[in-house]
Amino acid sequence: EDTRVVNLSLDRSAMLGRIHVARVVIESLKVPPEGGAQNTPAKKRSAGKPPKPASAQKRTFFVEYHFPVKATKNGIGQVAVTTEIIRVASSKISDEVLKFQQRYVFPIHFSGTMITHWWNSDLAFSIYLKKGAQRKPLLIGSAAFPLRDVIQSEHLSVSLELPVEEEGGSAPL
């Protein structure tokens, strides 16, 4: 895991050692208008109610991430990382912006091993979409940013807009 040398001052390392909580806030996700080029022709039905138009289907988006809270190294140098898995859901769309406004607080301990893990790791987000009565949400995109940016930032805080990479052949983001 030690792929890049950690370049932090002793003061910064000492400050990280005094940190006991980390917060992650997911504000919103830009989404395309419903329908558009993704519409597929409806199957023909011979009896019963006519199908709802595609635009009337409820869309629920999920964002999932694994937040590292602890990293330990055993006697032979293998690193074990403990993560908390978070999945937030929302279907509150207004002006092509999906509102999550979710805040999570995690206990954290920045040992030398944890600092090295954060220095060399990304916080990855997976974005899923569930339409209407669909049982299982489909992975439609992902985003990530280097955790190193947080421990290098002046106030140990980063607020940014992440670009989302679409999964091949699925709904656009």
Mean pLDDT of the residues in the chain: 83
Is the full-model pTM beyond 0.85?
A: no
Residue that wins the pLDDT comparison between 80 and 167? 80
Kindly indicate the confidence band of residue 101, based on its pLDDT and cuts at 50, 70 and 90: confident
SS (H, E, C) the chain: CCCCCCCCCHHHHHHHHCCCEEEEEEEEEECCCCCHHHCCCCCCCCCCCCCCCHHHCCEEEEEEEEEEEEEEECCCCCEEEEEEEEEEEECCEECCEEEEEEEEEEECCCCHHHHHHHHCCEEEEEEEEEECCCCCCEEEEEEEEECHHHHHCCCCCCCCCCCCEECCCCCCC
Q: What is the pLDDT of residues 104-126, one digit of tens each?
A: 999 999 999 999 999 999 999 99
Which pLDDT belongs to residue 39?
A: 39
